[in-house]
A = this chain, B = another copy of it.
Amino acid sequence: MNEIKIFSPATVANVACGFDVLGFCLDSIGDEMVIRKTDKKGIHITKIKNFDLPYETELNVAGVSALAMYDALDVDFGFEIEIYKNIKPGSGIGSSAASAVGSVFGMNELLGRPFNKTQLTEFAIKGEALASKCEHADNLAPALFGGFTLVKSVSPLKILEIPSPDNLYATIIHPQIEIKTSESRAVLPKEVALSDAIAQWANLGSLVHALHTSDYNLISDSLKDVIVEPYRSKLIPHFNDVKQAVLNAGALGAGISGSGPSIFSLSIGQETANKVKETMQSVYSNTGIEFDIHVSKINTQGVKII
């Protein structure tokens, strides 16, 4: 096998109470990439569709993660990468993570899987760092492992796979506005009240328990963010309106996807997730802001060959 095509999924990081550690994987939106073994040594990006991203390997997220892996190999051949980008950069659903994951996953498959998923995450972190200026794995881990993941620590890298109930669906709205990463960082406090921190870890511990026990009521009760949402939600137009409306429509909970501007919600079953979609549409259709909405089952497989 000298060439494969892969699907590298979008992901939701933070998940309300799990700031900086929790994430889950989506099914209905992701990038496609072709990875090809070549006689020419090195990593070469030969095609990029849909978005204007750099072809220079060292300046491209997929290229940088591929290079990190390539440097760990001792081979007399190289790889070409074609990127069919479907996840809009800056949308808050793991666009850079999908790129970073796709190249190393594809190369690893072509090589006969010399690396495990945690090792692939280590390589992908280098690509992600190009985009986000810091080494984190809260989108990479769910893209590679699928399902819900908890990044216990980045150094050393320790990723936990948290089970989730079968009938859990996500609905995500992406308002087409730009929030600068620097701005979404700047609004965060360096210190937080101990009482708020306690509430947050009570909720995260409860959410992990709820996912293990398929307790939808407890999932709903745990999807609260008292630390970050009060600050970052101000950067997202109509955030509170959307959140209240989707809760009224039957969603288990809602919050900021990654650092925004996307807003995620979780629901029991596709029917409710679609109703949540209609509710999001009705809130946003009067705002004059362009938007996309995705409905997706939780993707328990992660990145895959197609």
Contacts and interface: CB of A to CB of B under 8 A. Distances in A.
Interface of A: 17-22, 150-153, 158, 160, 162, 188-194, 197-209, 212, 218, 221-222, 227
8 contacts: A18-B205, A150-B206, A152-B205, A152-B206, A153-B199, A188-B194, A190-B194, A205-B205
A72 to B, nearest CB: 25
A207 B206 CA distance: 11
A218 B160 CA distance: 10
Given A162-B209, A218-B160, A194 B204 contact: no
Contacts of A218: 152, 160
Please give the count of copies of this chain that the complex contains.
2
Contact of A20 (B21, B198, B209): B198
Contact of A194 (B203, B205, B222, B227): B227
A21 B203 CA distance: 10
Given A208-B208, A209-B150, A191 B194 contact: yes
Contacts of A206: 150, 152, 158, 160
Contacts of A19: 198, 201
A247 B300 CA distance: 37
A201 B201 CA distance: 5
Nearest to A200: B201
A150 B202 contact: yes
Sorted nearest first, the 8 A-B pairs with minimum C-beta distance are A201-B201, A197-B197, A191-B191, A208-B208, A152-B206, A212-B212, A21-B202, A201-B204
